[in-house]
Chain A
C-alpha cells in the first residue's frame, strides 16, 4: 500500500509530537549546559582568565558575561541568545560571532555522521537480509550472528586508531581523512570507521527481528503465491522489522556523535568536536556553550527524523493511535 495524502498527514502528526518532545529534551540539555557552567565549583571568569588574573580583569569579564546578574535573568539571556542564534562574540576571535563558528563547524560533522548512518544502516541491514535468506546454511548464519556480536562489542576508540595505522599510515591504502587533499575518499574512510559499531548493532537487531518473524503466516502466503525469497524479504519482511532497526539506530546516535568527536580528534579534522575541544583549550565560553548545545540539537533532530522515518515505513505506526 502506497502512502497516501492521509498517511502523509499522519506522518506529519508523528513528526509534530516528536518535535514537541524534542523541544523538551533540547530545553533540558541546554539548561544542563547553562547550569554546568554556573553552578559547578569554580568561577567561569577565573576559568577563562586563569588563576593569576587580576581582580579587576576578572570583574570586567564577569560583567561582560553578565555573571553578577540574578540567575533567572542570565538564564533568560542565554535562552534568547540560543533562539536568536546570537551568543555573543567568540573570545578567541573577537569580532566573530560564537554562532558563526558553530555553524561553520556543523557541516563537516553532519557530513561525517550522516554518511556513517547511511553506510552503517545499509551494511547492517544488507548483511542481515543476506543471512536471513535461503542462500546460506545454518552454520554460516551462526557465524554471521557471532560476527555482529563481536563487532558490536569492539569499542571504536580501540578499533579506529589501529585500523588507521594499518590502512592509512602503514600501507597507505587510504588517505588520512585529516589531510585537506584527502577529499571524498578520506571522508568515506572516516565514516566507514564510524559506521562499524552502528552497522554491527543494526545487523544484530535486524537478524534477531527477522528470525523472530521467521515463519509468519503472511510470509508463507507471499511465498506460496510464488514470490522469490528476495522479494519476500525486501517487500514483506523488511517493513515489519523497520521499527527495531530505527530504534537501534536512534539509540546508537549518542555513541555515534561521541565517536565523531573522537574521530575528529584522531584525524585532526575540522568539525563540531574539534571546535568544542579548541574552545575548551582556549576557554572560549560562548563558543563552548554554543557548540555543546548545537551537538545536542543535532542529536535530537536526528532522533525526530528517525521517528518520522519509522512512521513512513511502518503502516502500523502511522495508522495507530498517534
Chain B
C-alpha cells in the first residue's frame, strides 16, 4: 500500500523543483540579457540561456508549473464530468446510455490536435483558457467510457442487489456502493490524459499557437530547433523537460492501477 504512493514522488519532486527555482531565483522568466544570448550552461545559469539571453532555468520552471497546472485541471475536469456522465448514462439505461456511448465514439474519433488548431486560430490571442477548453472538450470521453462500463457491471452486482433488497434508497445505493467502486476504475485514465495535455500544449506552442507571453515548454523547443547547431543545449533542455513532465504524470497515474489481486 505504502509503496504505491511512491509513484507520486517524481511528480511532487518536479513540481517542487519548479516552484523552488522560481522562489529562489527571483528573476521573472522573461528577463532578457542580450549579451548572454545562447550562452551554454554554467554554475550561475545551470540550464544556459536561450534566445536573447533568456535564462532557461527560470523559463522552464515557469513553463513547467503552468503545464502541470493545466494538465491537472483538465484531467480533473475530464474525470469529474466524464465519470458522472458515464455513471448517469448506465443508471438511466436505454436511450440515454446509447446516446452517451455514441457521443464517446464521436468525440474519441475526433483529431484533438486539429480541433485545437481550429479553435486557437479562430481566437484573437491563443491564451491558456482556450487551450484548456479545447483539451477539456475531448478529455471527458475516455473517463465516461470507463465509468459507463464499470457502472453497467456494478448495477447488476449481487452486493448492489442485496443493498437495495435490505431497503437502501436508490441514492444511498448509488453513493455508498457504486461510486466508491467506480472512482478507482475511472481514475486509471488520469495519468495518460494529463500527460497528453502536457504534450499537446507543448506541440501547439511549438508550431506557434502557444500562450502570448511565450512561457511554454514548446516555445523552449522552438528556440532550440532554430538554434540547433549554435546552441544544442537549448534543444536538449526543452526535449528533456517535455519528456520528464509527461513521464512523471504517467508514473503518477499508475497509482490508480491496482494489482489484480487487490481489486
Contact = CB atoms under 8 A, between A and B. Distances in A.
Interface of A: 24-25, 28-29, 32-33, 36-37, 40-42, 44, 46-47, 153-155, 157-159, 161-162, 164-165, 169-170, 251, 253-255, 257-258, 261-262, 265-266, 273, 276-277, 279-281, 288, 292, 295-296, 299-300, 303
A295 B111 contact: yes
B221 interface: yes
Contacts of A279: 121
A160 to B, nearest CB: 9
Contact of A40 (B109, B111, B119, B228): B119
Interface in B183-229: 195, 199-200, 202-203, 206-209, 218, 221, 224-225, 228-229
Given A155-B243, A265-B208, A281-B208, A161 B235 contact: yes
Interface string B217-255: 010010011001100100110111011001100100000
B123 interface: yes
A162 B228 CA distance: 9
Contacts of A261: 113-114, 117, 203, 207
A6 B212 CA distance: 58
A155 B122 contact: no
Nearest to B198: A155
Nearest to A295: B114
Contacts of A300: 109
A165 B232 contact: yes
Query: Interface extent on B, as a size class?
Result: 35 or more
Given A155-B199, A258-B111, A261-B207, A161 B124 contact: no
Contacts of A158: 221, 238-240, 242-243, 246
A32 B118 CA distance: 9
A157 B221 contact: yes
Interface string B90-123: 0000000000000000101111111101110111
B124 A36 contact: no
Interface of B: 106, 108-115, 117-119, 121-124, 130, 195, 199-200, 202-203, 206-209, 218, 221, 224-225, 228-229, 232, 235-236, 238-240, 242-243, 246-247, 250
Contact of B123 (A25, A33, A40, A265): A40
A15 to B, nearest CB: 16
B117 A29 contact: no
B225 A33 contact: no
B121 A276 contact: yes
B85 to A, nearest CB: 18
A176 B209 CA distance: 24
Nearest to A272: B114
A36 B122 contact: yes
A36 B118 contact: yes
A36 B130 CA distance: 11
B188 to A, nearest CB: 15
A148 to B, nearest CB: 14
